[in-house]
Structure 1
Amino acid sequence: MFNAQYFRTFITLVETGSFTRTAERLEMTQPGVSQHVRKLEHYLDKSLLERHGRRFALTEAGRRAYDYGLRLFTEHEQFRHSLDDEALDTGECRIGSPGSVGLMLYPYILGQQQMYPGLTVSYSFAFSHEIVADVLAGRHDLGIITEPVRHPELDCSQWHQEPLCLVVPADFAGTTLSELMGIGFINYSDGVNHAGALLRSNFPDEFRSMSQFRRQGFTNEVAMVLDAVARGLGFTVVSRLVLETSPWQRQVKELDLPVVEHESLHLVTRTSSRVPRRYERLLEGFREQRLRERFGYSDGAPAI
């Protein structure tokens, strides 16, 4: 029968190198330590120690049992701390988002994980409808989506907005809608909606629909769309998060436009579950960082 205490005794024995010191540390008798080791060997059906009088060496099975025991108790402590919904610095974070926000949010969260080793992160990049399905199935505690959703089992609220950028090749000299039509449009999953919103606001007398534009290609990975623009194949409209994290940002440029439109990001969670406070701190910290970068201040609005 599995007994975690036998593993704990064995780990302590390996670390102290002595049955006597193990007994003292665990407040046991020395025969009790020996009995735990024998029972663990019986449970695993393997010899864990090569005994040489009062000294011992680990067998191959003993080394593997020691490594497994360390992982076992580390995961146990992480699990125990993860049950504390009020803890800010410990626990698992299971988040899904589109690439447009994840390209910057995920590195930010990894930085927080470096500062607070008690945090663990499971982060998935996916389309909004996949994220919604994963939240409903319990695979994510929290999802970030680009369009609000209504569902009786979900709570959805706006979290953050990022400006949309009209991005053209670096050598593009045009400024008019007809000149943009001349180079064509590079599409991605949210491309048509974003481009339509931005062009409609800035060219109200000329813009009718995105069908006016020759389609120069499509990619389902927003992180790659600026590669096509950098090669001079057309223009696109992306979130500023995408532009700022792109390796091709020096090979493209953003056209200045008088009217600013935004990509709205929404948080989605299950109505039946309470999101631990560590999520709130992560999301608010990222949001405030973005506001400082853009405006030099934070508006202090709550994240969730």
Structure 2
Amino acid sequence: MFNALYFRTFITLVETGSFTRTAQRLEMTQPGVSQHVRKLEQYLGKSLLDRRGRRFSLTEAGRRAYDYGLRLFAEHEQFRHSLDDEALDTGECRIASPGSVGLMFYPYILGQQQMYPGLTVSYNFAFSQEIVADVLAGRHDLGIITEPVRHAELDCTLWHQEPLCLVVPADFAGTSLAELMGIGFINYSDGVNHAGALLRSNYPGEFRSMSQFRRQGFTNEVAMVLDAVARGLGFTVVSRLVLETSPWQRQVKELDLAVAEHEALHLVTRSGTRVPRRYARLLDGFRDQRLRERFGHAEAVTPL
């Protein structure tokens, strides 16, 4: 039967290159080391060592068993640390968000993983409806959505707000609603809602609804919508996160508007579930960074 102790003995033997040193390191007898290796070979049904007196080399099966053993114990340690909900820099985080957030949040998380190798993150890009369903099903521990949701089995709280930007082609010289109507609107999944909110606040005497605007196209990938704007095909309204991460930001420009509107980002988790502290550090760290970039100073963050 499977015995992780046999793998531990075999790994130590490979690393020391000596049955005697392995026995000393593991506080075993030398015959005990030999027995563990034989038991592992019997379990796997393969010879792991080419023995030449007191010396040995690894067979192909031995090399594969050594690599597997290293992964086995690394995953074991990672799993053990993941059970500690108080740990800030170890364990797994399972997060989902729309692309508008993930375009910047996911690279931020990757930077945290580089600093804290014990931290692993499974990140999924999806629409808000999919995220809610996946959190309910237990496929994600935490979701970030753009519209609040009410559900008996979910907790939903406001997390962060990003400014909305009215983005036009770089050579667009207009400022009026009529001029925007002239070039048309590029839509995406949240485009109509975002554009309606921003235009209603800034053109209250003229704006009626988004049906006033000629639709110049649609994409379900928010990261690509500014490509169409850069080509002069119309305007759109996106979160500043999208504009700042876009490869087309030099081919477009943001119109200055008097009244600011924001995309509200909400956190959704299963009701009664205590999210480990490592999630809070990622979320608070990213939000704090965004506030510093916007205002030049950090706002207060709830202590972890």
Same fold judged by TM-score > 0.5?
yes
SS, match of residue 217 in structure 1 = strand
SS, match of residue 93 in structure 1 = strand
Residues 159 and 303, structure 1, Cα contact 8 Å, conserved in 2:
no
Give the drift of 1:303: 9.2
163 and 303 in structure 1: CA distance in 2 versus 1, 3 angstrom threshold: farther
Q: Could you tell me which residue of structure 1 aligns to residue 209 of structure 2?
A: 209
Residues 284 and 303, structure 1, Cα contact 8 Å, conserved in 2:
no
Which digits, 9 at most, give the CA deviation of each residue in 1:170-195, with x for residues without a partner? 00000000000000000000000000
Q: Could you tell me which residue of structure 2 aligns to residue 135 of structure 1?
A: 135
Residues 187 and 236, structure 2, Cα contact 8 Å, conserved in 1:
yes
CA–CA separation in structure 2 for the residues paired with 1:297 and 1:287: 12
Question: AA paired with 2:172?
Answer: F
Q: Could you tell me which residue of structure 2 aligns to residue 46 of structure 1?
A: 46
Structure 1 length-normalised TM:
0.99
CA–CA separation in structure 2 for the residues paired with 1:231 and 1:302: 43
Does residue 66 of structure 1 match 2:80?
A: no
CA–CA separation in structure 2 for the residues paired with 1:214 and 1:102: 29
Question: AA paired with 1:200?
Answer: R
Structure 2 length-normalised TM:
0.99
Which digits, 9 at most, give the CA deviation of each residue in 1:246-291, with x for residues without a partner? 0000000000000000000000011132100000011000000000
CA–CA separation in structure 1 for the residues paired with 2:38 and 2:131: 49
Q: Could you tell me which residue of structure 1 aligns to residue 91 of structure 2?
A: 91
SS, match of residue 86 in structure 1 = coil
Q: Could you tell me which residue of structure 1 aligns to residue 297 of structure 2?
A: 297
Residues 169 and 230, structure 1, Cα contact 8 Å, conserved in 2:
yes
SS, match of residue 265 in structure 2 = strand
SS, match of residue 13 in structure 1 = helix
Q: Identity over aligned residues, as a percent?
A: 88
CA–CA separation in structure 1 for the residues paired with 2:218 and 2:243: 17
CA–CA separation in structure 2 for the residues paired with 1:74 and 1:206: 62
Question: AA paired with 1:135?
Answer: V
Mapping for residues 1-304 of structure 1, pairs under 5 Å: 1-302=1-302
Residues 167 and 255, structure 1, Cα contact 8 Å, conserved in 2:
yes
CA–CA separation in structure 2 for the residues paired with 1:17 and 1:152: 59
101 and 303 in structure 1: CA distance in 2 versus 1, 3 angstrom threshold: farther
SS, match of residue 103 in structure 1 = helix
Which digits, 9 at most, give the CA deviation of each residue in 1:178-219, with x for residues without a partner? 000000000000000000000000000000000000000000
Which digits, 9 at most, give the CA deviation of each residue in 1:70-97, with x for residues without a partner? 0000000000000000000101111000
Structure 2: segments with no counterpart, 5+ residues: none
Q: How many residues align?
A: 304
CA–CA separation in structure 2 for the residues paired with 1:150 and 1:19: 63
Residues 288 and 301, structure 2, Cα contact 8 Å, conserved in 1:
no
CA–CA separation in structure 2 for the residues paired with 1:118 and 1:18: 31
> What do you get for the CA RMSD once the two structures are aligned?
0.9
Residues 155 and 270, structure 1, Cα contact 8 Å, conserved in 2:
yes
SS, match of residue 95 in structure 1 = strand
Give the drift of 1:10: 0.2
SS, match of residue 229 in structure 2 = helix
Residues 97 and 126, structure 1, Cα contact 8 Å, conserved in 2:
yes
Residues 163 and 263, structure 2, Cα contact 8 Å, conserved in 1:
yes
Residues 280 and 303, structure 1, Cα contact 8 Å, conserved in 2:
no
Question: AA paired with 1:25?
Answer: R
Structure 1: segments with no counterpart, 5+ residues: none
CA–CA separation in structure 1 for the residues paired with 2:142 and 2:80: 20
Question: AA paired with 1:281?
Answer: R
